[in-house]
C-alpha cells in the first residue's frame, strides 16, 4: 500500500544534513547534501528508515517512483 512521497529533506536535516536530491553519479540514487559540497548516499536501509521516520510506520519501506522517493507499507 502506498503511503506517499518521502519528502526526505526533513529526514536529512534530522541527520545533520541540509537537503536531499537525486543524483546519477557516482551511484544513482538519493543523497543528503550540504552546501559545502559534502554528500551522503542514502542506502536502501537509510531510505527505509526515512519512510519509517516520516510516516511513523514500523513496516514502511522505500521505493523509487521514477526519480522520486516514495514510501509504502504492508497491510
Q: Using 50, 70 and 90 to split pLDDT, how confident is the model at 75?
A: confident
Structural domain for 30, as ranges: 2-72
Which tens digits make up the pLDDT trace of 1-42?
999 999 999 999 999 999 999 999 999 999 999 999 999 999
C-alpha cell at 16: 545533520
The residue-averaged pLDDT of 35-63 equals 97
| pTM of the model as a whole | 0.91
As for how many domains the chain has, the answer is: 1
Direct distance between the N- and C-terminal alpha carbons of the chain, in angstroms, rounded to an integer: 7
Cβ-Cβ contacts under 8 Å for 31 (sequence gap 6 or more): 20, 21, 22, 23, 39, 40, 41, 42
Mean pLDDT of 43-64: 98
Amino acid at each position: 500500500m502506498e503511503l506517499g512521497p518521502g519528502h526526505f529533506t526533513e529526514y536529512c536535516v534530522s541527520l545533520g544534513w541540509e537537503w536531499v536530491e537525486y543524483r546519477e553519479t557516482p551511484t544513482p540514487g538519493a543523497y543528503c547534501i550540504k552546501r559545502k559540497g559534502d554528500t551522503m548516499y542514502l542506502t536502501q536501509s537509510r531510505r527505509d528508515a526515512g519512510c519509517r521516520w516520516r510516516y511513523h510506520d514500523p513496516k514502511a519501506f522505500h521505493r523509487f517512483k521514477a526519480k522520486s522517493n516514495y514510501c509504502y507499507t504492508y497491510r
